[in-house]
């Protein structure tokens, strides 16, 4: 399985096509902030885990849009992902 497989890729491409790269990048930045805030609020007992997960799903969707915008073929993402996973395995002494 390729690391760059994105479920609903066509739908994500349609969103980018309709609203444009710059708008979706702005939405991604907002979703990063919302996820951070949700995690912080959860740690202080102010919101439920379900709300954290909802924000993480929003972040995941927009992150996949960023993958399409910044690396349409996924080749660079795959290369760096594999390198970083191997580095973690080396640090943990796990193969």
Rounded CA gap, 62 and 23, in Å? 11
Task: Decide: pTM greater than 0.85.
Answer: yes
Rounded CA gap, 56 and 49, in Å? 10
Residue identified by tokens 């912080």 is 40
Mean pLDDT, the chain, as a whole number?
Answer: 93
pLDDT of 76 higher than 50: yes
- Strand segments, DSSP code E, in 1-95 are none
Residue identified by tokens 């890729």 is 9
> How does pLDDT run across 48-70, given as a tens digit for each residue?
999 999 999 999 999 999 999 99
> How does pLDDT run across 14-28, given as a tens digit for each residue?
999 999 999 999 999
Closest CA to 68 of 34, 17, 1: 17
What are the residues whose beta carbons fall under 8 Å from the beta carbon of 65, sequence distance 6 or more? 12, 15, 16, 24, 27, 28
Give the three-class secondary structure for 4: coil
């Amino acid at each position: 399985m390729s690391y760059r497989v994105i479920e609903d890729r066509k739908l994500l491409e349609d969103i980018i096509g309709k609203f444009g790269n710059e708008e979706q990048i702005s939405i991604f930045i907002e979703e990063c902030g919302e996820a951070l805030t949700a995690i912080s609020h959860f740690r202080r007992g102010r919101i439920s885990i379900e709300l954290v997960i909802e924000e993480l799903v929003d972040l995941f969707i927009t992150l996949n849009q960023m993958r399409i915008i910044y690396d349409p073929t996924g080749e660079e993402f795959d290369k760096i992902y594999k390198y970083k996973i191997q580095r973690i395995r080396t640090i943990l002494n796990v193969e």
